[in-house]
A = this chain, B = another copy of it.
Amino acid sequence: MIVVMKKGASALEISNVIARVQADGYQAHLTEGDERTIIGLVGESPTPLREDNYSTMGGVDNVMRVSVPYKLTSREYHPADTQVALNGSKAGGSKVLVIAGPCSVESREQTIEIACAVKEAGATALRGGAFKPRTSPYSFQGHGETGLKWLAEARERTGLPIVTEVMDPGLVPLVAQYADVLQVGARNMQNFVLLSEVGKSQQTVLLKRGMANTMEDLLMSAEYILAQGNKRVMLCERGIRTFEKYTRNTFDINAIPVLKARTHLPVIADPSHAVGYSEYVTSIALAAVAAGADGLIVEVHPTPERALSDGRQSLNYDGFKQMMARIRLVAEAVGRTA
């Protein structure tokens, strides 16, 4: 059971609830968001838990008995779709949003050029990495704050909001200054310190599923963000690690309808990482839309064969335009737009 306190509940009201929890023989775990405090009741006790013992206490907003381990993230708690605003559209609404751009931002000119190209082809937002998580310390690590500035300039020119990754909890405020959407990458999906920080930032978050994480793990990680009072979270399926060798990852297409059933948050698909080879990206993008994805995040580069990272899975401009045209047809076939 969890007890959600009202915004502005007093310290006394909170400690009263805790005292009651302990008197009932349970442990109280506090999650203190910027806006409100949530008290989780855990452990076992002979005293049965009763909602109304708590719901009538001072400062309590809501008492929930949720059958799944993720609470605020679940459809049980929040049955209606959460819609996350992005560039005048809404992720989780009827339009399938497309976030496109390079894996890493490589130069000022190129960033602006790509932004113009993807905008023209119909993209909703611009992606681009300034801080890059790389397996090797000797690989290109991104242009850092300089890259963020190029992205901001591309936004000024095109109006496209910026989606970019943050890896360092200490840099969340810096990245949030430039970015419209903070991306938490697959390798950081269970970096709980980072999750709390992006939660506290109250900025929109794109949370990618880790390559060996279950859907439940993903929902639990989203819970870390929501527990900070930040509901503007988009989940992203980008493929998991299996024994298959012909593709970079195995795209778990099942996750799209299953996550949509279990959570109210929008679900985005990343067909580029999902399969890892540009010649298959459009097929996977179409499949994701047919399965119910609320959006796509796709890697686009003017000359993929010369990209500093992930060139093998990036579409060129023509490929992206063709993908967009085909996406629109499939979106329509499933009762949506793109």
Contacts and interface: CB of A to CB of B under 8 A. Distances in A.
B256 A140 contact: no
B280 A286 contact: no
A9 interface: no
Interface in A175-194: 187-188, 190-193
Interface string A252-286: 11111110011000000000001100011001101
Contacts of A121: none
A243 B243 contact: yes
Interface string A238-261: 001111111100111111111001
Contacts of A288: 287
Interface stretch (A83-91, A143-151, A154-162, A210-218): A210-218
Main SS of chain A's interface residues?
A: mixed
A27 interface: yes
A330 B290 contact: yes
B241 A257 contact: no
Contacts of A188: 190-191
A2 interface: yes
Contacts of A134: 192
Nearest to A166: B193
A174 interface: no
Nearest to A228: B137
Interface in A22-44: 27, 29, 31, 38, 40, 42
A251 B250 CA distance: 9
A70 to B, nearest CB: 8
Interface in A111-133: 133
Q: Which 8 A-B pairs have the closest CB atoms?
A: A212-B212, A40-B138, A290-B290, A333-B333, A187-B190, A257-B283, A287-B287, A287-B291
Interface of A: 2, 27, 29, 31, 38, 40, 42, 69-71, 133-141, 167-170, 187-188, 190-193, 196, 210-217, 220, 223-224, 227, 240-247, 250-258, 261-262, 274-275, 279-280, 283-284, 286-292, 326, 329-330, 332-334
Given A212-B241, A326-B334, 19 more contacts: A29-B138, A42-B140, A69-B136, A136-B223, A137-B220, A138-B223, A138-B227, A188-B191, A212-B240, A242-B242, A246-B262, A257-B275, A257-B279, A257-B280, A257-B283, A283-B291, A330-B333, A330-B334, A333-B333
